[in-house]
Chains A and B, each alone.
Chain A
Amino acid sequence: MSVCIRQLAAHCSLGSDLSSCVESLSRLELPAPVKRHFDCSHEQVAIPYFRMRNKPSGDFYQILINRLANLLDRAELNADDRLDTALLIGSSSFDVHISEQQYQQDLAKLGDQAAVSMPIVGYGKLAETFGESLGLSSHRYTYSTACTSSANALLYAKQLIEQGQVKHALVLGLEPENNTSVLGFYGLGLISPSEQMHPFDDDRDGLVLGEALGAALLSAADVTPAPQRRFTLAGGAIGTDNHSLTAAHTSGSEIARVIDQALQQAKISPADIQAIKAHGTASLKNDEAEAAALNRIFAGAIPPAFALKPYIGHTLGACGALELALTLGCLQTGYLPATPSAKGDGGLGVKLLRQLKPSQPGYYLLNCFAFGGNNNALIIHDQGEKGSE
């Protein structure tokens, strides 16, 4: 049974909805990150950060519920359909920013001894609250595998539908702005001193984090209206690379293995891949590992590749769903995104597209890798505009 990706949503540094994000990408304009200043005891630090464009104010939880409700409405799912809809949330930070705010208030009010650090616990709370509010099925799952969280959620959305547990699955990738992620990554020395991400280039010097939301509604093909059947999640795989806790195996062998499994699962060969959405974090070793894997799989004939993080930053647990939404949004408009600043001089053998390129129907590989060696590769099939009619 094929599983269609029928509705998408995105909100990141490029725009507050998918069409504005896609339009920004088509203009090839790199948003400038803001500077986040922290007055630490031993130093003042200023860390670049891609904040959401037109970030809404108001209750964080209600805003998300409204976004998801809108997605369900667009798909015209009725109450019965919703009871047959799973909710899968992938995030690395969840609502830790609310926890931080509450702790700051308690510190001011109660003092250091009495204030409870990390007052809000329970990764699954968001899914239960949202699922209840939206009238969804009991299949409500939360994935916490760092940067692959929402990519893994997409893969299990497909599993749940294929195995008949539900007809529909709503996937949310979420990374709200918070101090823990920003200062944690800074402390690891992973933030780009140049404040720009240059994936696969010689002068790559790290990443810039970003806040984002990406969402997708998946449904079994037999309950998806024909105009919404253009994209299917054709396959995917998860692999574990336990070579090192903090960096991928630079031989690329582990990443190549997961891409190979994803291709097998989709029953296609490397030659069928039209283009690659690279993970491309612009960190030294991870780009080396991804490039080595792509060279292994595609034997030196790497299909056109693009990376979205120079535009949106690394949105951690949200990046799987967000970058899927942006990629499919670009395909709907008929082009592959590009990075004009990419030099392709890194000796890694991966040259990112520098100009927009018309897209073709076919298969697309979406890479996503996480800290701690959790790797995910997804294969999307685009039937093209005609296929959805």
Chain B
Amino acid sequence: MYIENSYSLLHKVDAQNPVLADAQAVIQQWHGKRIRRIDRYIQLCVAGGLACAGERKLPSNTGVYLSTRCGAVSTSSQVMHTIESENELPKPLHFVNTLGNSAGFYLTQLLQLTGTALVLSKETLSFEAALLHAMMDINSGLCDYALVGTFDEVALPVDHQLQRLNAAPNAPHLFEGTHWLLLSKSATNTAIGSPVYARSPSELLQKIKWQGSDVQLGFEPCEEERHQLEGQTIEVFQNEALAAGTVPHGAFGAASLLDAAGKNTPLLHINRTEPNHYCGVAINA
């Protein structure tokens, strides 16, 4: 498979002075006007999807594979607060925005896509899961193109979000973002392999039959993981930010994968989810 186009918006939010990513500005750039009634979670979806599709007129049966680790946390928590704390009925619009297909509805309507659309989740491997589903559908001949995206938001207040993520209460920054690729069978500059799972980094190298020498990780490895990858040049995506305690968002692995894909050299992207499940995607191999 090949990457036709990609788009990645990785935004670092200062925990003390939180400024969130301006997704409406990205939407405005591609759609020309503001879309009413959509919350930030949906904005992140629509912004990323529109930017990745770009000027292309995609075939109407293009598959849309959306993924998220945590979903519409801001609006969902607002709904729960309305019900449990204020003893009120949730606002219809808030409730509708928490439903699984709402984000995809706006995106597919704008892009005039009517084929398969999914919303998937697999903890920190949500993007890789969506990628595998997209590849299965292209392989089976269901569609020629697939728009694969993942997005996770920072919900305010920050201290509540840190508790939800079981993160350190004094974390200085949090990531949020929207990360996309447009996948097709027709050869482009960037080839991408099917996601492969393993229970250890060494098993992953064997299963993929990795011949290259460069590995990019979407997580901070422990000593044992580094040891198993001996012989490989290891780059940890956003190493400095992670070392400084920045809390990765659910879609962080996708940001790493897309960064790797932009490098135009053979690279193995590895991402991890607890407890010790690894997923590898070979790029340009």
Contacts and interface: CB of A to CB of B under 8 A. Distances in A.
A51 B133 CA distance: 34
Interface core residue of A40, A123, A146 (most chain B CB under 10 Å): A123
- Mostly, the A contact residues are mixed
B100 A145 contact: yes
A5 interface: no
Contact of A187 (B91, B114, B129, B140): B91
B69 A372 contact: no
A373 B164 contact: no
A245 interface: yes
B81 interface: yes
Contacts of A112: 85
A246 B96 CA distance: 8
A103 B80 contact: yes
A142 B101 contact: no
Nearest to B78: A117
B120 to A, nearest CB: 6
A118 B114 contact: no
A370 B100 contact: yes
Nearest to B76: A118
B165 A121 contact: yes
Given A41-B87, A107-B85, A92 B100 contact: yes
Interface stretch (A157-165, A215-223, A276-284, A328-336): A157-165
Contacts of B122: 124, 127-128, 140-142
A239 interface: yes
Contacts of B199: 138
Interface stretch (A54-62, A177-185, A340-348): A177-185
Given A180-B83, A184-B90, A144 B100 contact: yes
A245 B102 contact: yes
A241 B100 contact: no
A374 B104 contact: yes
Interface string B70-85: 1101001111110111
B114 A143 contact: no
Interface in A112-146: 112, 115-125, 127-128, 132, 137-146
Contacts of B236: none
B109 A242 contact: yes
Contacts of A120: 164
Contact of B88 (A42, A96, A246): A42
Contacts of A116: 77, 160, 163-164
B150 interface: no
A138 B136 contact: no
B100 to A, nearest CB: 4
B126 interface: yes
A110 to B, nearest CB: 11
A181 to B, nearest CB: 9
B277 interface: yes
A160 B137 CA distance: 10
Given A184-B90, A187-B95, A372-B101, A121 B71 contact: yes
A163 B134 CA distance: 13
| Leading 7 A-B pairs by shortest Cβ distance | A372-B101, A138-B197, A123-B121, A184-B95, A118-B77, A242-B109, A144-B100
Given A92-B99, A92-B100, 11 more contacts: A104-B84, A121-B164, A128-B277, A137-B197, A145-B118, A156-B118, A160-B136, A179-B84, A187-B90, A238-B117, A242-B108
29 contacts: A96-B80, A99-B80, A100-B80, A103-B80, A119-B163, A121-B69, A123-B71, A123-B121, A124-B122, A128-B277, A138-B279, A141-B129, A143-B120, A144-B100, A145-B101, A149-B100, A156-B118, A179-B83, A180-B95, A180-B98, A183-B90, A187-B90, A238-B117, A238-B118, A239-B114, A240-B114, A240-B117, A245-B96, A373-B105
Interface of B: 64, 68-71, 73, 76-81, 83-92, 95-96, 98-102, 104-105, 108-109, 113-123, 126, 129, 132-133, 136-137, 139-140, 160, 163-165, 197-199, 250, 273-275, 277, 279
